[in-house]
Amino acid sequence: MKSVLITGGAGFIGCHLAESLLRHGYHVRVLDSLIEQVHERGENGLRLPREVEMIAGDVRDAGKVKRALAGTSHVVHLAAEVGVGQSMYAVDRYVSVNDHGTAVLFQQLIDRPVERVVVASSMSIYGEGLYRDADGNLVDDAVRGEIGGGSWEPLDGAGRPLVPAPTPEWKRPSLASVYALGKYVQERLTLMLSAAYGMQGTALRLFNVYGPGQALSNPYTGVLAIFASRLLNGRPPLVYEDGLQRRDFVHVRDVCRAFVAALEHPASAGKVYNVGSGEHRTIAEVGALLAQAMGRASIQPEITGKARSGDIRHCFADVGQAEAQLGFRAQQDFSEGLAELAEWVARQQASDRAEEARRELEVRGLVA
């Protein structure tokens, strides 16, 4: 039987993935430190299936990692601190878990290699997505000017707004946050060391993952979970800038399908793939659609008119490579996915900490 270790596997994506891998005939083992910010009181309602072997431990603990790897043939590396904003002030924590934790994992894999390692990378490594200028030329190094200088949009050399385009895997990285830097390190370590020690490595650049089971009380998690927590408590979603920034939202079940494809398809070895829906929506639009799905359409998003350090304007996925090489394409309809999320959220309790997180960023000068 194939045996897989999922680091960070007791979280949102990990619990869904564990179920999916069990259905595909894997023996599943999980290593997770169960940190309070993500697992507070277990309130996300997710439980690992009883068939999963659970090891409580930190990915930076070499002894625990060694034990967790024993007898495994595959690894999915999800363990990471997650949050662009928080990463900009909790620098040592993010670098320790994301960079050093990945190094500890591979130090152990050098002595006991597996067939394949798939790491959860992130769309955040792109920084700004791909753009076209007014003449139709592609721009892969777009940079915004000073926030509040009259336009939220990246401009070309002549001061004209650039038009966002789907972002492919070849687009050069532009690391705008400590979180993005750590994800790039995880990705590069996985591909470099897997190849050096006879393993197959794959990196999946996840876009904005959503679905039942997100940590609703974590103010640094996915934007839909943060919005849902606000709405559940009768408060408007907080939308930074003017709300017209565009993102790609992909359902967690589709993400699990992508991980299974990356674990099993011969073409994935040594490759990087975008995992998104291939669709894009504005953040303000998504906030309003979620409010409607939750039966709280009267609560309109609050447009703050402020920007957070490390945020980017537009980024959405070009999904052609994953479809051509892995046969993977997202299937979940967004409206149906929102309805499912809203139904799940209605059964939850959540502490709304979005204002607390905003104050934390403001006092550190990370919101302008």
DSSP string, 302-345: EE----BTT--S-B-B--HHHHHHH-------HHHHHHHHHHHH
Contacts 24+ apart (CB under 8 A), 356-362: 356/219, 357/85, 357/86, 357/219, 357/220, 358/238, 358/304, 360/89, 361/85, 361/88, 361/89, 361/308, 361/309
Domain annotation covers residue 214? yes
Q: Which of 94, 179, 184, 210 is catalytic?
A: 179
119-174 pLDDT, tens digit each: 999 999 999 999 999 999 999 999 886 655 557 889 888 888 899 999 999 999 99
Of residues 66, 60, 56, the one with CA closest to residue 31:
56
Domain annotation covers residue 256? yes
CA dist 322 and 13 (Å) reads: 19
Of residues 41, 82, 22, 71, the one with CA closest to residue 260:
22
Give residue 287's domain range.
3-130+166-363
pLDDT value for 349: 75
CATH assignment of the domain containing 308: 3.40.50.720
CA dist 105 and 171 (Å) reads: 28
Q: Per the structure block, which two tokens stand in for 294?
A: 């939750």
Domain annotation covers residue 156? no
Return the residue matching tokens 């390190």.
185
Q: What is the pTM of this model?
A: 0.94
How wide is the angle at C-alpha 35 spanned by C-alphas 217 and 116, nearest 5°? Answer: 110
Domain annotation covers residue 220? yes
User: Quick one: CA torsion of 91, 97, 98, 102, rounded to 10 degrees?
Assistant: 150
Domain annotation covers residue 153? no
269-293 pLDDT, tens digit each: 999 999 999 999 999 999 999 999 9
CA dist 232 and 234 (Å) reads: 6
Instruction: Give alpha helix (H) positions in the chain.
Output: 12-23, 36-39, 62-69, 84-87, 91-94, 101-111, 178-196, 223-232, 252-264, 283-293, 320-326, 334-345, 354-363
CA dist 234 and 306 (Å) reads: 22
Which of the residues in the chain have pLDDT under 50? 42-44
Domain annotation covers residue 160? no
Average pLDDT score, the chain: 90
Query: What does the chain come to in residues?
Result: 368
CA dist 353 and 359 (Å) reads: 10
At residue 273, what are phi and psi to the nearest 5 degrees? -135, 140
Measured between its terminal Cα atoms, the distance across the chain in Å is 53
Handedness of CA 353, 356, 360, 361 (dihedral sign): positive
For the chain, the domain total comes to 1
Beta strands 27-32 and 53-56: pairing type? parallel
pLDDT value for 311: 83
Active site residue 179: yes
CA dist 231 and 264 (Å) reads: 40
Domain annotation covers residue 42? yes
Domain annotation covers residue 151? no
